[in-house]
C-alpha cells in the first residue's frame, strides 16, 4: 500500500548477527504491526504498537525486538536468539481504532547466509 515503506526488500543475515528491518509510514496512523510469513503459511503477529513509546508482544515475539520512538517508524530487530529467521516479514499500519483494517507494506525477505 502507498504510504508504507519497508526496507530493504531483501536481507541476508550471518549466523549470530542481529539485523534490523525498517518500516516507515506517512499516513499518520497510530497503530503499527509486524508479521512473519513462512512459505505456504498465513500471517503470524510478532509485535504491535498502538501509540508512540509503547508496544506489545504478539504471538511469536521470542528472538525479536522493536522500538516505537516516532509515530512514523517501527523498526524490527531480528536477534541472534531467533534460530529460524528465514521468512517474509510484513509491516502493517492501521488507524488503531477497533475493527479498523490494516494496510501492509511490500515486505522484506530475510535469508540466512
Q: What is the DSSP letter of 71?
A: T
Quick check: helix, strand or coil at residue 26? coil
Rounded Cα gap, residues 59 and 76, in angstroms? 15
15, 42, 84, 113: which one binds another protein (CB under 8 A): 42
Rounded Cα gap, residues 42 and 86, in angstroms? 15
- Strand (E) or helix (H) holding 47: strand 43-51
Q: How far is the CB of 65 from another protein (least distance, A)?
A: 19
Cell, residue 70: 516516532
Q: How far is the CB of 97 from another protein (least distance, A)?
A: 8
User: Taking CB under 8 A as the criterion, which residues in 60-89 touch another protein?
Assistant: none
User: Taking CB under 8 A as the criterion, which residues in 3-22 touch another protein?
Assistant: 4, 6
Q: How far is the CB of 69 from another protein (least distance, A)?
A: 21
Quick check: helix, strand or coil at residue 56? strand
58, 61, 75, 77: which one binds another protein (CB under 8 A): 58
Chain residues binding another protein by CB under 8 A are: 1, 4, 6, 31, 33, 40-43, 45, 48, 50, 58-59, 90, 92, 94, 96-107, 109
Amino acid at each position: 500500500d502507498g504510504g508504507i515503506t519497508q526496507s530493504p526488500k531483501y536481507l541476508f543475515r550471518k549466523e549470530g548477527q542481529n539485523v534490523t528491518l525498517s518500516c516507515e509510514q506517512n499516513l499518520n496512523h497510530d497503530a503499527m504491526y509486524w508479521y512473519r510469513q513462512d512459505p505456504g503459511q498465513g500471517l503470524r503477529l510478532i509485535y504491535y504498537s498502538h501509540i508512540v513509546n509503547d508496544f506489545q508482544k504478539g504471538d511469536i515475539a521470542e528472538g525479536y525486538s522493536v522500538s516505537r520512538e516516532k509515530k512514523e517508524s517501527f523498526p524490527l530487530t531480528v536477534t541472534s536468539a531467533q534460530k529460524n529467521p528465514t521468512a517474509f516479514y510484513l509491516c502493517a499500519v492501521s488507524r488503531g481504532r477497533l475493527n479498523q483494517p490494516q494496510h501492509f507494506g511490500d515486505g522484506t525477505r530475510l535469508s540466512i547466509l
